[in-house]
């Protein structure tokens, strides 16, 4: 196999050092209806008055292809005002201003028969798996959005919730090609009515394929009352996470890539505060517990990392392989004397998948896709100190099948899986 590939290398290795350079005197965005041309140009990371190789333009095309509000972008050159100068024309195909995202693959667990409707490997850095929203471009470099979103979060220390959100994104901050998003969320489900909670995301592209994304995400849930043994206990919960994500991304699509590489490392720190009910062991035979309500505080540190590689095998077929890991350290103080503890959790996973497009390349040329996907995953989860009763070390194997669809209106992944 390697011999074959090396043989192929002989005819695919560059033999020409002189990759043409193009002086771009102007960049024009065409066919746009709602998207701001300045935002498209900023996200391309290209600048008027500079010289670019085809590799630079290809990276820009790939980068624009990953924007959620563009279905496709075509690059072409036209003559500029003087000999040797060019106009770069970006012909875009936009998505609709109203959009949806549904990413739901319910798993049936063999050992604990229940349906887990959560699946999100966070490879894109986005925890959301249900979104219905609308986006408007404001001014030259701004965009506002409103959304109803479901955050499906399988981190061991944060919670799932649904929220209304309203936000604003400023692109090309101070002419640096960085962007910042301020999002205000109001949780409506998960822990009861919540309070207005801020989320700030700042993305700084450090090269055509590398981005550092800083995020502060606070979620304040509403108060809830739990009745235990005829006694009411008040509980409330809030969580805040600060993360710094480095990513290297050469994939060709924001949601369902078919080629390219995505590598990310995300260190994070956070806290979680609340009041809850804690149980202390009283007697062993029969085992009895007593409930104590009170505040608690958790300090959270962690790192998430992952690497995914996609290969196009044929006009319609694509495979991927990924490796990901999570390490989380929690230090918790509770109102129960002697119940404060430190806990470390590990999760390492491997996955492979195959997808096959129901559409021909010609049908996909204008953007959008319809694919069938088969995925197999293995993950090993453990924690220290071991809790053999409630949270023993366990390996999980998952297989799933799903239908993927991307249109100008939104993105859909629905399917079903089995875990054991």
Partner 1 sequence: MVTRGAVMMVLFALAVSLRAQQQRPAFTVQSGIVAATLPASVLQDKSVKKQLGSGLTTTFLLVARQRESGLVSGARIEVRYDLWDEVWIVRRVEFDGKTDRQRIASAEALEKWWRAPVRLFATGAARVALQLDLNVLPFSAAEEDDARQWITKAGGVGSGAGLVDALIGTTISAKPITSFRWNVDLSLR
> Which residue, 259 or 344, has its beta carbon nearer to partner 1?
259
**Nearest approach, Cβ of residue 318 and partner 1 (Å):** 10
- C-beta of residue 60 within 8 angstroms of C-beta of residue 208: yes
> Which residue, 52 or 171, has its beta carbon nearer to partner 1?
52
Residue 96: is it exposed, middle or buried by C-beta count within 10 angstroms (0-12/13-18/19+)? middle
Among residues 214, 307, 336, 372, which is the contact residue for partner 1, using CB under 8 A? Answer: 307
Q: Which of residues 86-125 bind partner 1 (CB under 8 A)?
A: 86
Spatial separation of the C-alpha atoms in residues 90 and 92, rounded to whole Å: 6
Give the phi and the psi of residue 256 in degrees, each rounded to 5: -125, 75
**Nearest approach, Cβ of residue 286 and partner 1 (Å):** 56
Q: Which of residues 232-291 bind partner 1 (CB under 8 A)?
A: 248, 250, 252, 258-261, 263
Pair of tokens at residue 232: 């009411």
CA 333 to chain centre: 31
Q: Which of residues 60-79 bind partner 1 (CB under 8 A)?
A: 61-62, 65, 74-79
Contact window for partner 1 (CB under 8 A) among 39-47, 185-193, 274-282, 307-315: 307-315
Q: Could you say whether residue 7 binds partner 1 (CB under 8 A)? A: yes
- Computed from CA positions of residues 374, 124, 58, 408, in that sequence, does the dihedral angle turn out positive or negative? positive
> Which residue, 77 or 98, has its beta carbon nearer to partner 1?
77
**Nearest approach, Cβ of residue 215 and partner 1 (Å):** 24
- Counting residues that bind partner 1 (by CB under 8 A) gives 54
> Which residue, 78 or 234, has its beta carbon nearer to partner 1?
78
Q: Which of residues 12-51 bind partner 1 (CB under 8 A)?
A: 12-16, 19-20
- C-beta of residue 187 within 8 angstroms of C-beta of residue 220: yes
Q: Which of 308, 310, 319, 314 is nearest to 264 (CA)?
A: 308
- C-beta of residue 69 within 8 angstroms of C-beta of residue 135: yes
Helix (H) or strand (E) holding 150: strand 142-151
- DSSP letter at 2 equals H
Pair of tokens at residue 376: 């197999």
Chain residues that interact with partner 1, rule: CB under 8 A: 2, 4-16, 19-20, 53-55, 57-59, 61-62, 65, 74-79, 83-84, 86, 207-209, 248, 250, 252, 258-261, 263, 307, 309-312, 315, 361-362, 365
């Amino acid at each position: 196999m390697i011999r074959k590939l090396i043989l192929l290398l002989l005819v695919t290795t560059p033999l020409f050092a002189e990759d043409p350079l193009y002086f771009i005197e102007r960049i024009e965005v065409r066919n746009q209806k709602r998207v701001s041309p300045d935002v498209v140009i900023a996200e391309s990371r290209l600048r008027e008055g500079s010289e670019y190789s085809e590799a630079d333009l290809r990276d820009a095309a790939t980068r624009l292809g990953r924007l959620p509000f563009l279905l496709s972008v075509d690059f072409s050159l036209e003559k500029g005002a003087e000999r040797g100068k060019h106009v770069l024309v970006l012909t875009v195909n936009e998505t609709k201003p109203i959009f949806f995202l549904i990413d739901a693959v319910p798993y049936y667990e063999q050992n604990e028969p229940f349906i887990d409707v959560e699946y999100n490997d966070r490879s894109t850095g986005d925890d959301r798996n249900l979104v219905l929203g609308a986006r408007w471009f404001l001014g030259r470099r701004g965009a506002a959005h409103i959304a109803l979103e479901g955050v499906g979060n399988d981190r061991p220390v944060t919670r799932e919730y649904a929220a209304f959100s309203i936000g604003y994104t400023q692109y090309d901050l101070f002419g640096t090609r960085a962007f910042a998003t301020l999002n205000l969320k109001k949780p409506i489900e998960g822990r009861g009515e919540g309070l207005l909670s801020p989320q700030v995301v700042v993305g700084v592209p450090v090269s055509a394929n590398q981005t550092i994304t800083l995020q502060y995400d606070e979620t304040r849930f509403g108060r809830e009352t739990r009745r235990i043994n005829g006694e009411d206990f008040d509980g409330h919960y809030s969580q805040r996470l600060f993360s710094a994500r480095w990513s290297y991304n050469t994939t060709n699509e924001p949601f369902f890539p078919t080629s390219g590489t995505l590598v990310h490392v995300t260190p994070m720190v956070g806290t979680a505060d609340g009041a809850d009910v804690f149980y202390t062991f009283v007697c062993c035979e029969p085992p009895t517990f007593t409930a104590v309500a009170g505040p608690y505080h958790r300090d959270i540190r962690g790192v998430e990392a992952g690497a995914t590689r996609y290969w196009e095998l044929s006009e319609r077929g694509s495979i991927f392989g990924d490796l990901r890991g999570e390490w989380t350290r929690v230090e918790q103080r509770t109102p129960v004397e002697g119940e404060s503890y430190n806990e470390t959790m590990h999760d390492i996973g491997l996955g492979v998948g195959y997808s096959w497009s129901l559409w021909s390349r010609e049908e996909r040329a204008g953007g959008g896709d319809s694919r069938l996907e088969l995925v197999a995953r293995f993950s090993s989860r453990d924690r220290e100190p071991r809790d053999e009763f409630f949270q023993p070390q366990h390996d999980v194997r998952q297989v799933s099948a799903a239908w993927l669809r991307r249109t100008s209106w939104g993105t859909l992944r629905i399917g079903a899986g089995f875990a054991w």
